[in-house]
């Protein structure tokens, strides 16, 4: 379904107009997210000292209306062996301390995560998980220039078991109260074929 909303005041104005008449219900987390900016901390190393220093300065300056999302934290490094991510790289105690600092300040803390691709050296890798094109070829995803490892596009219907596994690890590890799922929100839905040659349209 395509819905066209006309506005002379820009896309956000059109979105607000549509929201007022569409009848869609808000997801439970929307009210909590409104008014907060996302601080996606990309660097800082894996000992988390720089992260704690940066967050302490923000808290000291009175920042509260934010999420703190830690990027590049995964066990094997950024975009390596996905979706194997747990436990965090480096000093786990310092990582937990960083999460506790954010929570104490009332700033939701979470991780930058992604389930659009899978690497062949992941623990539970199977070619049946990979999306294929109409010729049966595996759909390639990201080529990591640091490791020269090629990832492949994970079938959207295969994501849930990996996501649930990692969420359970995180819940037991530090109890995140935020999460940033990357990439799927930044690309259009895509058509693909599964290992049995069954077509899955983007609308699915």
Question: What is the model's pLDDT at position 1?
Answer: 75
Question: Over 90: is that where the pLDDT of 200 sits?
Answer: yes
67-125 pLDDT, tens digit each: 999 988 999 988 899 999 999 998 888 889 999 999 999 999 999 998 999 999 999 99
The least confident of 45-54, 86-95, 154-163 is 45-54
Can you say how many angstroms the Cα of residue 4 is from the centroid of all Cα atoms in its chain? 29
Q: Which long-range contacts (CB under 8 A, 24 or more apart) does 29-37 make?
A: 32/108, 33/67, 35/65, 36/65, 36/66, 36/67, 36/108, 37/65, 37/66, 37/67
Of 161, 148, 156, 182, nearest to 71 (Cα)?
Answer: 182
The token pair at 195 is 């290992």
Burial of 180 (0-12, 13-18, 19+ CB in 10 A): middle
Specify whether the CB–CB gap between 97 and 91 falls below 8 A: no
Confidence (pTM): 0.80
Best mean pLDDT range from 14-18, 71-75, 149-153, 187-191? 149-153
Specify whether the CB–CB gap between 129 and 155 falls below 8 A: yes
């Amino acid at each position: 379904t395509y819905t066209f909303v006309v506005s002379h005041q820009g896309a956000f104005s059109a979105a607000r107009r549509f929201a007022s008449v569409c009848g869609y219900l808000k997801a439970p987390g929307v009210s909590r997210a409104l008014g907060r900016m996302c601080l996606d901390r990309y660097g800082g190393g894996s000992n988390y000292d720089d992260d704690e220093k940066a967050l302490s300065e923000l808290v000291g300056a009175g920042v509260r209306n934010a999420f703190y999302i830690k990027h590049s934290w995964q066990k094997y490094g950024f975009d390596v062996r996905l979706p194997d991510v747990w436990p965090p790289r480096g000093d786990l105690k310092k990582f937990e301390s960083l999460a506790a600092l954010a929570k104490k300040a009332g700033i939701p803390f979470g991780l930058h995560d992604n389930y659009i691709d899978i690497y062949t050296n992941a623990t539970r890798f199977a070619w049946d998980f990979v999306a294929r094109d109409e010729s049966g070829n595996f759909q390639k995803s990201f080529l990591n220039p640091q490791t020269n490892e090629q990832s492949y596009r994970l079938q959207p219907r295969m994501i849930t078991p990996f996501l649930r596994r990692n969420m359970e690890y995180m819940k037991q590890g530090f109890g995140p109260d935020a999460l940033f799922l990357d990439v799927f929100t930044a690309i259009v839905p895509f058509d693909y074929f599964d290992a049995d040659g069954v077509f899955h349209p983007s609308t699915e």
